[in-house]
Amino acid sequence: MSYSIIDSHSHLDFKKFNNDREDAIERARLNEVTEIINSGIDYKTNISTLELSDKYPYIHATLGLSPMVASRSEHSEVDRILFQIEQNLDRAVGIGEAGMDYYHCKKDFEKERQLDAFKKIIELADSFGKPLVIHGRDAEDRILNLVQHLDDVVFHCYSGSAETMKKITDMGYYISIATLVCFSQYHQSLVKDLPLEKMLLETDSPYLSPHRGKRNEPAFIVNSVDTISNILNVDASYIAQKTTENTRRVFGL
């Protein structure tokens, strides 16, 4: 392998890494994963994400409020997380993951809580000029309408339609392709229609492993590079180079 790569979205602070976190980080480095972006989803993981970024200079934090957390939290807890994010943005490269998820949350009151929290997250991203990392599922078009005034947006682990993906990239925003692409024909079809200059790569560790039944980890992002290289008939080093450049650009690395 003759290239370096960035995992643009992972959760190394999650408990599934408690037994071998340092080893997983070292395996990533041995596989030329030069940098990792670790994303918080709630108050606790925002703290652990910041702790990781403080300990490892090549791990960067984004601070988030996931739609599932927003849907089940009282207003006071949402406000506590929003205040936490605002107070620590100088230590983070972005905001998120945050957004709306109509796949897991189907009740009207859950959707309203998501929307209310997400609007406040958007205000933070706008006010502080930070890139926003979107968690969107079955709500991508509505999310796009809400964020279209922002400068930098990443739709993480994108699984929406090709039509909406084109709207997203036409606005200058980025699509992050997860290691799902290694086994999902649908995600492989999305890659064919996605401009390389708007593509990021991620593992979403510990989820979505290309090795079915196994925990995912940042080292496995090389599987995505090889898969996309085969799909596009483009050299793997070029895929790595372009997606790394894109990640650096959007997050200011």
User: What pLDDT is stored for residue 37 in this prediction?
Assistant: 98
Domain span at residue 200 reads 5-251
d(CA 137, CA 251): 23
pLDDT beyond 70 at 1: no
Is this model's pTM higher than 0.85 or not? yes
d(CA 250, CA 198): 10
95-146 residue pLDDT tens: 999 999 988 877 888 899 999 999 999 999 999 999 999 999 999 999 999 9
| Cis peptide bond N-terminal to 217, omega within 30 | no
197-223 residue pLDDT tens: 999 999 999 999 999 889 999 999 999
Q: Are strands 174-177 and 153-155 parallel, antiparallel or unpaired?
A: parallel
Backbone angles phi, psi at 73, to 5 degrees: -105, 145
Which CATH number goes with the domain that contains 23?
A: 3.20.20.140
User: What pLDDT is stored for residue 85 in this prediction?
Assistant: 98
Q: Which strands form 132-137's sheet, in the order they lie side by side?
A: 5-10, 33-39, 59-65, 94-101, 132-137, 153-155, 174-177, 199-201
18-77 residue pLDDT tens: 999 999 999 999 999 999 999 999 999 999 999 999 999 999 999 999 999 999 988 899
Average pLDDT score over residue span 4-8: 97
- The number of domains in the chain is 1
User: What pLDDT is stored for residue 213 in this prediction?
Assistant: 85
User: What pLDDT is stored for residue 212 in this prediction?
Assistant: 81
- Structure tokens of 30? 């041995």
∠ CA 44-179-243, nearest 5°, is 95
